[in-house]
Amino acid sequence: MQGILQYQNDTLADAVKMRGRIILFGRRAIFTEGAFRAYGSRSRRFLFSRRTHWARRYCYEKTREYVGETKGKVVFDLYSGTGTIAQILAPVAEKVVGVEIVGEAVEAARENAARNGLGNCEFLAGDVLKVVDELEEKPDLIVLDPPRDGIHPKAIGKILNFGVSHMVYVSCKPTSLARDLEPIQAAGYQVDKVCCVDMFPHTANCETVVSLTRKK
């Protein structure tokens, strides 16, 4: 056993919200076997959910399937959290750039990548809306995994300006996904595949993985 953590939450919500954490035993970082290698999660905002193991793994597997071939490609993982998806794609991709607004999550992502020997992962701390203006590299494909509120409308416009042929959107709230898909589809992208995973039992929300291809 690596440790026992107690999370404090006395509110009613359709999302898991943490007000405090107590280390009862061991260490605060829990390392588990992910989709391809060991990864650790120590960010307060990303460690903690009621997701079942099979649902989490299935969601990542579907994301990897929908992304498709990454050999020799530059991938942007926007809203990258602790870098799990980025690290799943990195072994084959030329480079993966992750952008995440939560500084602690970015630190964890860098630590996880180093632990897994992935030198082609770069994780940047900041708001996607602002950071995309500073990126010099151009992506070949983009993975979007925003928080529950979805993507800022202005950020969507900037993301679309990259003009990639393929994007994968991972959503944890159907209404936000539906709203964000409107401008994306209006810009010439079509939905190829959709997979829903019940990662939030007994709520109206579910994790949805969407493959989007730009019309020729």
The two beta strands, 20-26 and 30-33, are unpaired
**pLDDT in the model for residue 14:** 53
Query: Residue 47 carries which DSSP code?
Result: S
Say yes or no to pLDDT of 50 above 60.
no
61: number of Cβ within 10 Å: 15
**pLDDT in the model for residue 39:** 46
Q: Looking at 121, 172, 195, 196, which residue is catalytic? A: 172
Which structural domains are found in the chain, ordered by start?
51-214 (3.40.50.150)
What whole-number percentage of the chain has pLDDT above 70? 76
Q: What is the pLDDT of residues 190-202, one digit of tens each?
A: 999 999 998 877 7
111-141 b/e with 16+ CB inside 10 Å = b?
A: bbbeebebebbbbbbeebbebbeeeeeebbb
Say yes or no to pLDDT of 110 above 80.
yes
d(C-alpha 187, C-alpha 141), whole Å: 16
The position carrying tokens 């597997």 is 61
What whole-number percentage of the chain has pLDDT above 90? 64
Does the model's pTM come out above 0.95?
no
121 is catalytic: no
Select the more confidently predicted residue: 206 or 6.
Answer: 206
d(C-alpha 85, C-alpha 123), whole Å: 12
27-43 b/e with 16+ CB inside 10 Å = b?
A: eebeeeebbeeebbbbb
